[in-house]
């Protein structure tokens, strides 16, 4: 998870849109983003997705239709979403949400490259989920 900096903008509004499956967020510096739930799920900062170190990331697939089922505050620095596929261990700090929003184009491109390299489609079912041994 990205750490909080003293200059991190904070959200002034946060709205989950179920129909479009996007998290709309406006920050104190005026930045405004609509972050797709799929992007949040694919880039969840949890160990289940990021692994326990560089090179251990788990490529997420089949998340295009994922929905947000809950969004809980974590102190005054983050939110913890629960997704319709059961994933609920990622804590999204304000600066990480800002990163996701401001870097969407680059992140989508990186994701598509990783899918192509793995030879799988964005809508392919997740493979080997039961093989993850860390308990997350």
pLDDT digit string, tens, across residues 33-54 = 999 999 999 999 998 899 888 8
Structural domain boundaries of the chain? Answer: 11-123
Contacting residues for 134 by C-beta, under 8 A, at least 6 apart? 47, 48, 52
pLDDT, mean of residues 100-111: 97
pLDDT at residue number 126: 87
The model's pLDDT over 112-136, given as tens digits with 9 standing for 90+, comes to 999 999 999 999 998 764 434 344 4
The whole-number pLDDT of residue 55 equals 82
Query: The dihedral of CA 115, 129, 125, 119: what is its sign?
Result: positive
Mean of all residue pLDDT scores within the chain:
89
What pTM was estimated for this model as a whole?
Answer: 0.88
Average pLDDT of the residues in 51-66? 90
Q: How many CB atoms lie within 10 A of CB 136?
A: 14
- Architecture in CATH of 11-123: 2-Layer Sandwich (3.30)
Q: CA–CA separation, 69 vs 8, rounded Å?
A: 27
Q: What is the pLDDT of residues 3-19, one digit of tens each?
A: 456 678 999 999 999 99
Kindly provide the b/e burial profile for residues 7-32, where b requires at least 16 CB atoms within 10 angstroms of the residue's own CB. Answer: ebbeeeeeebeeeebbbebbbeeeee
């Amino acid at each position: 998870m990205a750490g909080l900096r003293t200059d991190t903008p904070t959200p002034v509004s946060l709205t989950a849109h179920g129909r479009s499956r996007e998290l709309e967020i406006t920050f104190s510096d005026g930045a405004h983003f609509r972050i797709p739930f799929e992007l949040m799920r694919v880039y969840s900062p949890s160990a289940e997705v990021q692994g326990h170190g560089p090179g251990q990331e788990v490529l997420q697939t089949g998340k295009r239709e994922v929905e947000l089922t809950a969004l809980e505050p974590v102190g005054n620095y983050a939110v913890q979403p629960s997704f319709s596929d059961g994933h609920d261990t990622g804590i999204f700090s304000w600066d990480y949400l800002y990163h996701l929003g401001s870097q969407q184009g680059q992140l989508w491109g990186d994701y598509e490259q990783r899918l192509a390299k793995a030879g799988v489609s964005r809508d392919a079912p997740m493979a080997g989920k039961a093989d993850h041994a860390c308990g997350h």
